[in-house]
Structure 1
Amino acid sequence: MEDIFVARVMSTSLKTVSSDTLVEDAADVMLTDEVSSVLVVDDQGGLEGILTSTDFVDIVAKSSPKAKTTVERYMSTDVVTATAQESIRDVADTMIEHGIKHVPVVDEDEGVIGIVTTTDLASYLSRVQRPSPT
């Protein structure tokens, strides 16, 4: 596999907030712009941190008092799935096409049997790519 440098694959359309932005407003940015993270920058554009959708799981889990809202209110029901026999390239293309990071793997007889995530694809790529010389 040929070397592809970060500049060739990185996103340059960045979503940023300041450190004093309310988490609710940061969440609005993430939802509106359909991104899973915002970069926290200072007035000069220097990186101070990052807030991700994973951080919001922690925020909700630690919130008090609890909202006692069921997942049904927020869950996606038009779920894109794959079968165990599909190629990872096809699944990766599907993820990009739909802007998703999780694809449940289903079997007609057994139901849900697994899930493929962007982390799984990155892990696979790192295993099949020859290590750089040290």
Structure 2
Amino acid sequence: MDDLFVGRVMSTDLHTVAPETLVADAAELMLDNCVGSVVVVENGELRGILTRTDFVDIVAKSRPKAATPVSDYMTTDVVTTTAQAPIRDVADTMTEHGFHHMPVVSDEDGLIGMITSTDLAAYLSHVQTPSPA
């Protein structure tokens, strides 16, 4: 696993919203596409991420959901990785911070993908390991 890089297991089918997107619309997008997060992008730049976990906060604060923009709840201090990062480092970072989604960026192209705990688990489930004796 040390020589496997993020680019081999990340998802590139990203679902993005703008900071002014209403949380109700973001939730619908996530449900329609069976994804756990949307990436908030403005003028081609990564501005934040909104995840299923953030919706707990939205419901708890009981603001009018239909009129609440994503920017009110998105995480703005987004921890990112690159396609060349070893997945072990990414897994360690995700575990350390307790999150399940990490946007993948490049200096040339900006946001290029997303690696999730599901991507890591799917990879591990396909790795051939010897059975215990």
TM-score using structure 2 length: 0.49
- The structure number with the bigger radius of gyration is 1
Q: TM-score scaled to structure 1, two decimals?
A: 0.49
